[in-house]
Amino acid sequence: MRYAKRLIALLSVLLAVSVLMLILRGNGRGAATARLAAPPTAVAAPPPKTAAATAEATGAVAAVRVEPGLLQTPQALAYFEREAFEQQARRFFDTAAQLDPAAREREAAGLEQAVDRYEAARQLSAGEAMNLRLGLIQATVADEVERGARQAELIARYRQDGARREAQFMQQQAADAAFADYKRREAQIVTEVMALPQIPDGLTREEYLRRRLQRERERAAGQP
């Protein structure tokens, strides 16, 4: 019960924080993570914050009763860390052309490490991670030929990984189907043997059942 209350309170805090960020940003959160690496375009400056907007945002947060220490939970910290990462990525792609080479490389390396971490944790899809990596190459590699080659290599790697995962999935599906068929046959054999009025070859019922199940396991494994 306590866990459910903490979860409800955490969701309320995250909702209130999102409302606050939407109001203060003016034009909202912007493009989704998968589109962060799109080439920068001219964007109109958001309207200046007004006293009414600030009061509205303050009221939205104040309306939520926050349990002490709730914002320091792992879930809340992970949420704010992800928000910071997305803001950093948007800012980098918007301003990369104005940065000096050393600063650009440094920020890109930090973003790539974050992409590695989120992709490994499956908090970024393969498509989102690939788009971000393509954008980082676009922003940091000046030579057009090298840039194209690195992007093509990256796309080919993700395609190979996708094909490998698809093959693994299909193999697992086939294995699951074969195992399900084996378990179905196993149940049938048990039912048949337990219903036999007389066990052949002078065996006990348990020994005959064991032999039948062993033959079925060998058949399922593809043994002759």
What local confidence, expressed as pLDDT, does residue 68 receive?
Answer: 59
**Global pTM value:** 0.52
Confidence of residue 157 (pLDDT cuts 50, 70, 90): very high
**What was the pLDDT predicted at 155?**
94
Domain boundaries, the chain: 2-140, 182-220
pLDDT single digits (tens) 62-98: 445 556 577 778 888 888 888 899 999 999 999 999 9
- Residue 151 has what pLDDT? 93
Task: Please write down the long-range contacts of 60-68, taking CB distance under 8 Å and 24 or more positions apart.
Answer: 60/16, 60/19, 60/20, 60/23, 61/16, 61/17, 61/19, 61/20, 63/16, 64/12, 64/13, 64/15, 64/16, 65/9, 66/9, 66/13, 67/6, 67/9
Percent of the chain beyond pLDDT 70?
69
Sign of CA dihedral 154, 155, 156, 157: positive
How is residue 46 annotated by DSSP? P
Tell me, what amino acid is at 103? Answer: A
